[in-house]
A and B are shown apart, each in its own frame.
Chain A
Amino acid sequence: DTAVSQTPKYLVTQMGNDKSIKCEQNLGHDTMYWYKQDSKKFLKIMFSYNNKELIINETVPNRFSPKSPDKAHLNLHINSLELGDSAVYFCASSPLGTTRDTQYFGPGTRLTVL
C-alpha cells in the first residue's frame, strides 16, 4: 500500500500554463506539506495544512495555491508557470505537526517548464 502518493510523477508544460499536482495519504495523518527541491537538491517547505487548515505559507508566490478538500488530500495548483518553477515537488504528511512527528514523503513530481 502506498502511504503518500502523488500524481503525476512527471509534468512537462509550457510557460504560462496552469497545472495541478495531486497528493493523497492513507496514513490517517493530520498534517500535510508541500516542499520544493530545486536543481541543487535544496529542499524548502512551501505550505503546511493541518486538518484542511493552512498553517504555514513560506513566502511562496501567490501563483501557487494549495487546496485541501479533506485531511487525506492536499493538491497544489500553479498558475502562469514560469521557467523558475521547474523543480521536484514533494508532498509529505505527519501525524501531527509537533517536533517529534516524522514526516513521510511522497515520491515527488518532477515539473519541467519549457
Chain B
Amino acid sequence: AQKITQTQPGMFVQEKEAVTLDCTYDTSDQSYGLFWYKQPSSGEMIFLIYQGSYDEQNATEGRYSLNFQKARKSANLVISASQLGDSAMYFCAMREYYTGANSKLTFGKGITLSVRP
C-alpha cells in the first residue's frame, strides 16, 4: 500500500486565490512527521512546512498552512493568496521512525500547480 497518496491531477488556481493540495498518508506509527516540499521548474527541492503527529495546532508558515486531520490521516497544504511564483510541483512526504536515531522520508508522487494571472 502506498504510504503517501497524492491523487489530484494538475491543479489550476487564479492568482490571489487560495488553493488546497491534498495528501493522505498511511502509517501504524504513533510518532511521525509530515512535510511539504515545493519543486519549481528549476528543479530544487524547497522545504515549505512541517507537521508533527503530536502537534495539536495546524502548522502555518507565512502563506502556507497545513490542514492536519489525524483521524482521517490527511495533511492537506493550503496556499493562500496564490502568486505566479507558486507554480511548481508540490510533494507531500512522511517521516516515520526507522531505526536508532534515523528515519526515512517517503514521498508522494507530487501535484503540479499552475497559477493563472
Contact = CB atoms under 8 A, between A and B. Distances in A.
Answer yes or no: are A and B bound together in one complex: yes
Interface of A: 31, 33, 40-45, 48, 50, 55-56, 58, 88, 90, 92, 96-105, 107-108, 110
Q: Which 6 A-B pairs have the closest CB atoms?
A: A97-B102, A105-B45, A99-B33, A43-B107, A55-B102, A99-B95
Nearest to A41: B110
Contacts of A58: 104
B97 A99 contact: yes
Q: Which of A99, A100, A102 has the most CB of B within 10 A?
A: A99
B88 to A, nearest CB: 11
Contacts of A102: 35, 47, 50
Interface of B: 31-33, 35, 37, 39, 43-47, 50, 52-53, 89, 91, 93, 95-107, 109-110
A99 B107 contact: no
20 contacts: A31-B101, A41-B109, A42-B109, A43-B93, A48-B104, A58-B104, A90-B45, A92-B105, A96-B101, A97-B102, A98-B103, A99-B53, A99-B96, A100-B33, A100-B52, A102-B47, A103-B105, A105-B37, A105-B44, A108-B44
B101 A98 contact: yes
Contact of A45 (B52, B100, B105): B105
Contacts of B105: 33, 45, 92, 103
Nearest to A110: B43
A92 B103 CA distance: 13
Contacts of B31: 99
